[in-house]
Amino acid sequence: MRDGISIRAENVSKKFCKSFRRGMLHGIADISRNAVGLGSHSYRLRKDEFWAVDDVSFEVKGGETLGIIGFNGSGKSTLLKMINGIFWPDKGKITITGKVGALIEVGAGFHPLLTGMENIYLNAAILGMTRGEVEERFDSIVEFADIGDFIGTPVKNYSSGMFVRLGFSVAVHCNPDILLVDEVLSVGDYAFQRRCLEKIDEIRKRGVAIVLVSHNMQTINKLSDRCLWIHQGKLEGVGDAESLTNRYHVGLFSGRSLAGVGETAGNMKLVNKYFGYGMESIVVESVHLEGNEIGERTVFQAGEDVNLVIRYRLGNSIDKAYLRVAMINENNINCLGDEIRIDCDSGYRFSERGTITVKIPSVRLNSGKYVLSVTMQDDTYNNPFYSGQFGYLTVVNNRSSVNSGFSTPVLWDRFDWKMERD
């Protein structure tokens, strides 16, 4: 490592073919050209080909952890496989200094009929260990895998947890200079995940360069020093993990084009309206959200104050109602909400048209996309006036993890509100 750079990727691109059959023909053409010593002109796109990774450059130093994030199919794994030398770039150049270890899919080289012990030797050989190295580290591998007496049992009889533990254990005992990790940390039970993270931390402290691909922003945030965001094969952003994972969440849940991420605005669309309810004594004409400043927004940081602005029109003359506001997540769980009584006692009276502003003091929600449900009922709860769902509201929460499996706590809060007549 003359300049301390472990991985240097310079304008790296990789193309794939959409059509399988044509891909075969392209493949045979490439192979024949290479075989007779000709270049394959790989920088050109042929029919049905596209760039899966397009002009990506970055460097990783020893001891540094680089996180790679991106939506499904954005080219993260392809990039990782190129660093690993499984795929070769079609354009650009990757320079690797040191021995590469990969946790791309643990236990990929296992044979189900062989025993745990036989598989340790086999997998270690495939992963590039020498015989002496395996013999020296054998006990340590078995200990970390924590499979006890099952070492002599064929791995097809292993539980999936044992299988993964053994695979992970062999892989981390390769003592690489560069470690590539692709979403393997999400397997196994919680205790094992923690041990994996500890192990990776330990490896990092030894000065190993780590490249980490994950959909779990918590993991990325916790482990990486820097972060790459790959979108549709292109580099969407480079920077510190926190700000990038923030933007990633916004993009993920708002589903908007990434160019506009950050300044999403506009009315919330009515996504569901419950008919059959109703008298339509009151109709919600539009709903939008604001932060503390004036201006419509749909993306909020967890903990921010949100103002919900409801424009209504009166059908019949009513003087009291219950307004229910709720934020519903993608699993249809009502996560945050309140019920507000509007009548003369609270000092307000419905006019023909007007605005109700509900102040939600702090959106304490997990990262995610939420539907806003707005319902008006009469005070007997028997006559719904209006019920509609508006979408979408995106919450970004850096302390929460999308994949963690912990559900958002259900919370009924006290919202302040006010009403203005037109």
Partner 1 sequence: MIGPRGSGKWPEVITYEPDNSIRKGYANLFREIGEDILRNRWLTYQLFKRDLLSIYKQSLIGILWSVIIPLVSVGTFLMLNSAGIFSIGRLHVPYPLYAVLGVVFWQLFATGLVAGSNSLVKAGPMIVKINFSKKSLVIASQGQALIAFSIQFVVLGAMFLYYGIVPNWMILFTPLLVVPVLLFTLGLAFLLSLLNGVFRDIGNIISILVTFLMFLTPVLYAKPETGLLSSMNRYNPLYYLVSVPRDLILAGKTGDPGGFALSILVALIVFLICILFFHLTETRVAERI
Which positions touch partner 1 (CB under 8 A)? 1, 16, 23-24, 27-28, 30-31, 34-35, 37-40, 42-43, 81-82, 84-102, 104-105, 108-109, 111, 113-114, 118, 121-122, 125-128, 130-131, 154, 174, 176-177
Q: Which residues contact 96 (CB under 8 A, 6 or more apart)?
A: 6, 7, 83, 85, 178
- DSSP β-ladder status, 296-297 and 282-290: antiparallel
Q: How far is the CB of 203 from partner 1 (least distance, A)?
A: 14
What is the spatial distance between Cα 329 and Cα 418, in angstroms, rounded to a whole number? Answer: 26
Q: Give the DSSP letter string of 156-167.
A: GGS-HHHHHHHH
Query: Residue 85 or residue 260: which is nearer to partner 1 going by CB?
Result: 85
Identify the burial level of 149 via C-beta atoms within 10 angstroms of its C-beta, where 0-12 means exposed, 13-18 middle and 19 or more buried: exposed
Q: How far is the CB of 126 from partner 1 (least distance, A)?
A: 5
Q: How far is the CB of 173 from partner 1 (least distance, A)?
A: 11
Query: Residue 10 or residue 304: which is nearer to partner 1 going by CB?
Result: 10
What is the spatial distance between Cα 104 and Cα 85, in angstroms, rounded to a whole number? Answer: 12
Query: Residue 204 or residue 249: which is nearer to partner 1 going by CB?
Result: 204
What is the spatial distance between Cα 273 and Cα 374, in angstroms, rounded to a whole number? Answer: 10
Q: How far is the CB of 238 from partner 1 (least distance, A)?
A: 21
Element spanning 32, H or E: helix 20-35
Measured CA distances, 337 to 31, 163, 366 (Å): 62, 44, 14
Nearest to 387 by CA among 267, 298, 266, 280: 280
Q: How far is the CB of 201 from partner 1 (least distance, A)?
A: 21
Query: Residue 90 or residue 236: which is nearer to partner 1 going by CB?
Result: 90
* Residue 245, token pair as written in the block: 């994972």
Query: Residue 135 or residue 416: which is nearer to partner 1 going by CB?
Result: 135
What is the spatial distance between Cα 386 and Cα 377, in angstroms, rounded to a whole number? Answer: 7
Query: Residue 86 or residue 265: which is nearer to partner 1 going by CB?
Result: 86
Q: How far is the CB of 161 from partner 1 (least distance, A)?
A: 20
Q: How far is the CB of 188 from partner 1 (least distance, A)?
A: 18
Query: Residue 91 or residue 369: which is nearer to partner 1 going by CB?
Result: 91
